[in-house]
Copies of this chain bind each other. A is one copy, B any other.
């Protein structure tokens, strides 16, 4: 904040709120935020009145730093929660100087911004962008421990998913088993909800990554992509695999081999000091030799998150991203290939160590064929 000349920072990103205060609840469907001031030892939490007790239960904040707005601010045509926020900032004398907001963050709507602009005429509102997200990029030992627990959960959950994709089984019953495994976790530690629901494109749906399930049965001759995450205390370890029922077409078998080779090469290239685009380049050179073209990024930072995304919105493995990899960054490397009417995903979540990259999971890195 000091480097950017920000006196007061407003953060509506639920992961940033959790990271900085511990706040944890599914209340981000109404406006809420935390306020960080250079003048104060603690952030303020501001949200809906009925959620203030959730802040008292889940955060380390002193209770007089928790503010609940009255319920008539909720989804009102005449008043906006940011009116309340602006009044509170005025009361603290924090309505002058430079106030940072997260302009392109989920839940910071155009109306939030307009309301603040109108109600804080003495402040200069600036885009703080992904300032807090970038702090989250390097994980502490405790955060890595949660991600390792999430890895144990996704290993068992992915196996459940692979087992359940079989001819005649309804997609919804497979996902029921996946959710049960994911949420139950292990006997030592329980699981959490994932910031993206299980994704399960099947048949022609594998030509695109973000389709969910229905109640049709799996069919022999079709592929299914499973993109899932294990989650422990909001920390994610995502994984994608592709399952084919019956003898796969040659193009799928061959592409799977290339994708695995490219993924292996990308992971081998990832280490401290290397920039993101170099990791992507290791992938790109591999697939180019086999005539495969992929336009989209092949990975991103992951960890603590809330719906709708388990990515952190910071670094991407793609051309032009010159972010230097550092120890204890954690990335989901997902070089999905989606073509006109078919596709494949095989991914790994990796930990940048002192001298390389270590996958969190131990799960066969291959196309799963059930013949």
A contacts, CB < 8 Å to B = 24-29, 49-54, 57-58, 70-72, 74-75, 77, 80, 101, 103-114, 127, 129, 170-173, 175-177, 179-185, 189-193, 196-199, 204-205, 207-215, 295-297, 300, 307-309, 311, 313-314, 316, 318, 320, 336, 338, 340
Contacts and interface: CB of A to CB of B under 8 A. Distances in A.
Q: Which 4 A-B pairs have the closest CB atoms?
A: A190-B215, A172-B190, A110-B113, A104-B111
A316 B106 contact: no
Nearest to A300: B75
Contact of A212 (B24, B49, B107): B24
A109 B106 CA distance: 7
Nearest to A172: B190
A295 B196 contact: no
Contact of A106 (B27, B70, B103, B107): B107
A369 B189 CA distance: 28
A34 B338 CA distance: 23
Given A109-B109, A295-B71, A176 B173 contact: no
Contact of A52 (B101, B127, B208): B208
Contacts of A181: 176
A320 B211 contact: no
A321 to B, nearest CB: 10
A26 B196 contact: yes
B106 A110 contact: no
A277 B320 CA distance: 56
A116 to B, nearest CB: 9
Nearest to A28: B308
Given A109-B105, A307-B307, A320-B72, A57 B211 contact: yes
Nearest to A54: B208
Contacts of A320: 72
Given A104-B112, A110-B113, 18 more contacts: A25-B211, A26-B308, A50-B336, A53-B338, A57-B204, A58-B211, A71-B296, A75-B300, A75-B313, A75-B314, A106-B106, A113-B113, A170-B184, A175-B183, A176-B179, A189-B215, A190-B213, A307-B308
A110 B107 contact: no
A74 B25 contact: no
A21 B149 CA distance: 40
